[in-house]
Amino acid sequence: MTTDFTQTRALFDLPQGMIYLDGNSLGPLPSAAAARVAATVTQEWGQLLITAWNKAGWMDKPMAVGNRIARLIGAEPDSVAMGDTLSIKVYQALASALEMNPGRKVILSDSGNFPSDLYMAQGLCRTLGAGYELRVVEPEAVLEAIDESIAVTMITEVDYRTGRKHDMAAITARAHEKGALTIWDLAHSAGAFPVELAKCGADFACGCTYKYLNSGPGGPAFIYVAPRHQDRARPALSGWQGHDAPFAFDLDYRPARGAERMRVGTPPILQLAALEASLDIWDRVDMVALRAASLALTDRFIAGVEATCPTLTLATPRDPASRGSQVSFRHPEGYAIMQALIARGVIGDFRAPDILRFGFTPLFIGAEEVDRAVAILAEVMAKSLWDTPAYRTRAKVT
């Protein structure tokens, strides 16, 4: 198991000189990924063609790869299925959970959730009609808001803007005490720190793989269904790949056994190949050591920026136990400041209205990069290098 992260940087292709603090949004390219995808294209698709579904194990990939993700998120074997996008997986988990808790119609979420999760819940409520409701409270109020009216909590463990981390064990316990089910969105957790789904008793979880898990743009999402629910959870998106016998071509849907029923359609084999190249790295990562290294980096960045940039306000919890693997600062000119940083090779991103966001991944970021990023940010702030019209023009993706 890898506990020393000084060697792992060499496993990624990163442009010379760039300090990449955005692996929480799009993970960098694993060096082995291009060859792995090329081999899948030329040797499997090119030579095996349709027979690759059997010969290259394409059909089994969504569950086989899910089992490799399972270790990172503390999930039981065969409880994680790959496919589709995170938004779709949120919808699937919500639809199943609501059906499993009849008599209750409220989905509870918080205002720190990523909007797509809220939009999916709104769309599902509209489809279900008759009294279904999404209730959104402040992140600090989630625990209190779980009462006997809640059918399911839909909580993203780490806030995409501030990096604030919810207490999964406490919220799950409270939800169960009140008769509610839980859905955990692990978009900013999987690959960021050890997650303990089984230990916490989580019911459903989902997440994406193109952030910390480096599967590349559009990489497949994952969904977790607790073993005790796997044969009760009925898929609302009942596609043929989640059928018990897809090649029987029955006219009626009959869900597959286990979490495999959450598959929908044909899996994205090329993206899964890229993800497998990344998981060759992740399979060896000691998650406890990763967390320790991540907290050392985020502590160092917070201390460095606070010592040199008095006009930036920390938006991330100071308590290490209450944050993920990112650090955010607020500034009214946050967008322009981030553009000035990007122009100088420090890549973070901006989230409206005023958040400068920096992700830290020990696999390819070390203390030296943190110190250089702090020095560049300090110079940008001290000399107001951001204060130019070019840096205020907003691009489509921020």
Q: Any idea which residues carry the catalytic annotation?
A: 114, 185, 210-211, 357
Tell me how far, at minimum, the Cβ of 207 lies from ligand PLP, in Å: 8
Which is closer to ligand PLP, CB of 93 or CB of 200? 93
Binding site for ligand PLP (CB under 6 A): 85-87, 114, 116-117, 156, 160, 185, 187-188, 208, 221
Which is closer to ligand PLP, CB of 8 or CB of 113? 113
Tell me how far, at minimum, the Cβ of 50 lies from ligand PLP, in Å: 29
Tell me how far, at minimum, the Cβ of 20 lies from ligand PLP, in Å: 17
Which is closer to ligand PLP, CB of 58 or CB of 114? 114
Which is closer to ligand PLP, CB of 87 or CB of 238? 87
Query: SS in 3 state form for the chain?
Result: CECCCCCHHHHEECCCCCEECCCCCCCCEECCHHHHHHHHHHHHHHHHHHHHHHHCCHHHHHHHHHHHHHHHHCCCCCCEEECCCHHHHHHHHHHHHHHHCCCCCEEEEECCCCHHHHHHHHHHHHHHCCCCEEEEECHHHHHHHCCCCEEEEEEECECCCCCEECCHHHHHHHHHHCCCEEEEECCCCCCCCCCCHHHHCCCEEEECCCCCCCCCCCCCCEEEECHHHCCCCCCCCCCHHHECCHHHCCCCCCECCHHHHHCCCCCCHHHHHHHHHHHHHHCCECHHHHHHHHHHHHHHHHHHHHHHCCCCEECCCCCHHHECCEEEEECCCHHHHHHHHHHCCEECEEECCCEEEEECCCCCCCHHHHHHHHHHHHHHHHCCCCCCHHHHCCCCCC
